[in-house]
Amino acid sequence: MKIKAVIFDMDGTIINSEEMHTKTIQEVVEEEFGVKLSAEEIEKYVGFNYAKKLEKIFGDKYEKSEYQKLRFMIRNKTLKNTGLIKRVENAKEVIEEMKKNFEIALVTASSREQAGKFLEAVDFKKYFDLRIASDDVKETKPSPECYLLALKELGLKPKECLVLEDSEPGIKAAKEAGTYCIGIRHKYNSNQDFSRVDKIVDDIGEVDLELIKSLQ
């Protein structure tokens, strides 16, 4: 079946935002819990939303309601730190090439407001007419709900879509939705399981028409 659409994850895949997320989590956790977290403790859980990150770090030390409370505090604070966001190298060129040849969409575990602000910060918002955010689903990645919704909105079958992801939760979501998936390695995800992807690349710039053709 021919691939007709390319669906991009956002954080870590087309924008460098992990340092901003880490810094913001550290600040809020220290303010609210009085605990200093290292970057390494946080970055182990790339791809999970803030509440799930905190739950994995602290376990049952705090109530889940506390993690949800901090999730919204962190989310709001990131909107003031967009100056720390940068484009992933080669992302702009890949987005433009994909848009010329396929339908494209964005699926993110970030909120709709965050996605809009973050994309604006790197001038990528103009490329994505279809954006699926955490507000649009009951469960975020690793649930496949976000990708299934994207397929529905695109009017395409799973094997007509390729997902570009950089995290284990995102890869699980994409594969359980039945799509093709390319995993993009970087310094923040070296500990994550990429065994389910169809192809692993070390640079989004490696994703081109020839590589996509080889998947079909």
What are the residue ranges spanned by the domains of the chain?
A: 5-16+85-215, 18-83
Residue 76 has pLDDT above 90, yes or no: yes
Pairing state between β 103-107 and 5-8: parallel
- pLDDT for 180 equals 98
To the nearest whole percent, how much of the chain has pLDDT over 90? 92
Instruction: State how beta strands 15-16 and 86-87 pair.
Output: antiparallel
Average pLDDT over residues 18-22: 91
Q: What is the pTM of this model?
A: 0.91
Dihedrals φ, ψ of 179, to 5°? -85, 170
Determine the pLDDT at residue 47.
Answer: 84
The label of the residue with tokens 């790339």 reads 46
- CB 85 within 8 Å of CB 14: no
Rounded CA-CA distance 202/117 in Å is: 27
CB of 29 within 8 A of CB of 37? yes
Signed CA dihedral, 138, 91, 187, 121: sign only: negative
CATH no., domain 5-16+85-215: 3.40.50.1000
Cα(47)–Cα(138) distance, integer angstroms: 17
Mean of per-residue pLDDT scores for the chain: 95
pLDDT (mean) for 80-86: 92
> Residue 44: its pLDDT value, please?
87
Q: pLDDT (tens digit, 9 = 90+) per residue, 25-72?
A: 999 999 999 999 999 999 889 888 899 999 999 999 999 999 999 999
What local confidence, expressed as pLDDT, does residue 123 receive?
98
| Alpha carbon distances (Å) from 6 to 70, 134, 161, 182, 187 | 33, 19, 6, 10, 24
Asked if 136 and 143 touch (Cβ cutoff 8 Å), the reply is: no
Residue type, 164: L
The answer on pLDDT for 18 being more than 90 is no
What is the per-residue pLDDT for 6? 98
Percentage of residues in the chain having pLDDT higher than 70: 100
* Between 80 and 1, the higher pLDDT residue: 80
d(CA 40, CA 32): 20
pLDDT tier for residue 1 given thresholds of 50, 70 and 90: confident
Cα angle: 9, vertex 105, 215; to 5 degrees: 75
Task: Using the predicted structure, report yes or no on whether residue 107 has a pLDDT greater than 90.
Answer: yes
Q: DSSP code of 5?
A: E
Average pLDDT (104-132) is 97
Quote the pLDDT of residue 121. 96
